């Protein structure tokens, strides 16, 4: 197959689904009223926002009122970590494999006299519950552990983690940016207190996200002050087209999740099985406890940046999109005990809704050919 472009970097961002785009377009041109305006035009828009909020709430298993709209997951993470009331506690526990947005917020609070414990992970990327238990004490305010790792796809046992966290009265922040819309989530059952998410990871537009807040969590201190929208937690005129799109993306994801999971997993497994046949190639992360669309493979003897460039029309990644401009070893793979040599030979393939079988076959053919050439 000759393809003009193959996109296998869906953990970085996804294409906006045509159905999402069609739903949001009228809110740029025709239904453009400010939802906080007191007239009928504004109230009609507010009603549609409430419908979108209900669709998102249904997807993640919470009340619509428990969701605050943000500009994306990064803002939601900042609001949650910097805004949580400390109850006289100033200790945070954070997995060493968290996204940089979480890690940077924790480093920021270290400069504000908070004590942060960075949890190690096993060689397959999982948190040891006993190590977590030993890290939490009476001064612990917040524990930050993501549901699905953006680089390896490893899935943590959040329900078990939540049980440990709550025994000492701490809160659990679970970054679900890579999970929402891909796997079933029920925040109440899972014991999540704060959960950031972003629309562009599941076929919505960039620039819109949300933060789930457990109603038992005391009022968060806002990052933005102004018009006191969203109960004063997040001021600013609402991104109406984005919210409508987020709601539609949630609705589609819930309806199609089961069949899409099966289809994408089959394609991922075919890609992975084929590439693992290349001499010395191995997998980063847990073989089973991971999301269905992601595989992170090491190609010893080949620099990942070389492979990325040589692949040309095939879009893959060497790690998180937020750190791809550097050529440093992945902090996630380092935390898993990988030597820098192997970390710098890692490639992440992340499949999505629009990935086809022909594209996977073409990718296998090209990777096999290029790895052989680069090694020579």
Catalytic positions, please?
322
Q: Cβ distance 211 to 224 under 8 Å?
A: no
The packing angle between helices 304-311 and 357-375, to 10°, is 130
Report how far residue 158's alpha carbon sits from residue 142's, in angstroms, rounded to the nearest whole number. Answer: 14
How far lies 264's CA from each of 2, 185, 249, 341, in Å?
A: 21, 19, 18, 30
Report how far residue 150's alpha carbon sits from residue 125's, in angstroms, rounded to the nearest whole number. Answer: 12
Helix (H, G, I), strand (E, B) or coil at 119: strand
Nearest to 321 by CA among 211, 201, 202, 207: 201
Q: Cβ distance 9 to 320 under 8 Å?
A: no
Burial classification of residue 72, based on how many CB atoms lie within 10 Å of its CB (0-12 exposed, 13-18 middle, 19 or more buried): buried
DSSP-derived pairing of the beta strands 6-7 and 314-315: parallel
The values of phi and psi at residue 211, to 5°, are -125, 120
Q: Who's near 329: CB < 8 A, 6+ residues apart? A: 338, 340, 343, 344
Q: Cβ distance 166 to 183 under 8 Å?
A: no
List b or e across 353-368, with b for residues whose CB sees 16 or more CB atoms inside 10 angstroms: bebeeebbbbbbebbe
How far lies 336's CA from each of 329, 341, 348, in Å?
A: 12, 14, 15
Q: Which two tokens stand for residue 302?
A: 């080949």
Give the distance, in angstroms, between the CA of residue 243 and the centroid of all CA atoms in the same chain.
18
* β-strand partners of 211: 68, 196
């Amino acid at each position: 197959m000759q393809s003009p472009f193959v996109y296998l970097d869906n953990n970085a961002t996804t294409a906006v689904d045509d159905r999402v785009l069609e739903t949001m377009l009228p809110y740029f041109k025709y239904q453009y009223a400010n939802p906080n305006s007191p007239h009928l035009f504004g109230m009609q828009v507010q009603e549609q926002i409430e419908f979108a909020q209900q669709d998102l709430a249904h997807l993640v298993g919470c009340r619509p009122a428990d969701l605050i709209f943000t500009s994306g997951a990064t803002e939601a993470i900042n609001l949650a970590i910097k805004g949580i009331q400390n109850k006289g506690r100033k200790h945070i526990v954070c997995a060493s494999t968290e996204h940089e947005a979480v890690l940077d917020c924790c480093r920021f609070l270290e400069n504000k006299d908070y004590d942060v414990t960075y949890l190690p992970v096993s060689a397959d990327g999982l948190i040891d519950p006993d190590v977590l238990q030993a890290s939490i004490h009476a001064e612990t305010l917040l524990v930050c552990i993501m549901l699905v790792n953006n680089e390896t796809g490893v899935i943590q046992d959040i329900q078990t983690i939540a049980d440990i966290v709550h025994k000492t009265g701490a809160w659990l922040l679970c970054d679900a940016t890579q999970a929402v819309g891909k796997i079933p989530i029920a925040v109440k059952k899972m014991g999540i207190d704060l959960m950031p998410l972003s629309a562009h990871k599941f076929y919505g537009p960039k620039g819109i996200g949300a933060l789930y807040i457990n109603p038992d969590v005391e009022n968060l201190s806002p990052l933005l002050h102004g018009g006191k929208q969203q109960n004063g937690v997040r001021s600013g005129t609402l991104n109406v087209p984005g919210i409508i799109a987020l709601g539609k993306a949630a609705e589609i994801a819930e309806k199609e999740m089961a069949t899409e999971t099966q289809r994408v997993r089959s394609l991922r497994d075919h890609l992975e099985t084929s590439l693992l046949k290349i001499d010395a190639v191995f997998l980063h992360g847990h073989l089973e406890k991971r999301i269905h669309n992601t595989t992170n493979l090491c190609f010893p003897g080949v620099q990942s940046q070389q492979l990325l460039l040589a692949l040309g029309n095939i879009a893959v990644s060497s790690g998180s999109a937020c750190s791809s401009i550097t050529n440093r070893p992945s902090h996630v793979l380092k935390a898993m005990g990988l030597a820098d040599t192997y970390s710098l030979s890692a490639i992440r393939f992340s499949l999505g809704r629009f990935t086809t079988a022909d594209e996977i076959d073409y990718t296998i053919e090209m990777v096999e050919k290029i790895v052989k050439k680069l090694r020579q």
